Amino acid sequence: MVMRGITWRAMALFAVSLCLALGACSNSSVGSYHGPVQCAPYARQVSAIKLRGRAADWWWEARGHYPRSHKPVVGSVLVFKASSRIPDGHVSVVRRIRTQRQIEVDHANWVGGRIERHALVEDVSVRGDWSHVRVWWAPSGRMGRRVYATYGFILPMR
């Protein structure tokens, strides 16, 4: 697929090159990379959370290895539950806390295999526990209409 004269592969290779230049990736993590950037490998590369497997499984894989919470912390990873819209779940890295109910995240493959930085995520849960969120939808330039269920946040080790 081509977007404004740039292929997805070229964009992905640029993203990996930028990641390497900023020191956020290791050379070994890039060796077998092909195709769009996926959320789990991206989150692993740019956070202190070093889990593997399906994004939705990270919540359970973190048990006993990383602290988990229902409150965001900068550097934590928000884990989305699997659903018909996101069958493998999704993970996003918290970069900024705006308010009790709004954070900014960096994540990959929310829209077409791209890396998005400082995407707004809003807690819409009844209890304010981040169990249900809405996510910024870049193609429309506004918050997405869909509500996604999440497990919570995996915190980096202190």
Q: What is the pTM of this model?
A: 0.78
* CATH class of this structure's domain 36-154: alpha beta
DSSP class per residue in 30-81: HTT--SSPPHHHHHHHHSS----S-GGGHHHHHTTTS-EESS--TT-EEEEP
- Segment 115-127 shows an average pLDDT of 97
Neighbouring C-beta atoms of residue 35, cutoff 10 Å: 9
- pLDDT tens sequence across 5-38: 555 455 544 444 444 343 333 322 332 344 689 9
Band the pLDDT of 1: cuts 50, 70, 90: very low
- Asked if 57 and 43 count as a contact pair (C-beta separation under 8 A), the reply is no
**What does pLDDT average to over the chain?**
85
**What confidence tens digit (pLDDT) does each residue in 65-84 have?**
999 999 999 999 999 999 99
Q: 3-state DSSP call for residue 84?
A: coil
d(CA 31, CA 100): 39
The CA distance from 36 to 34, in Å, is 7
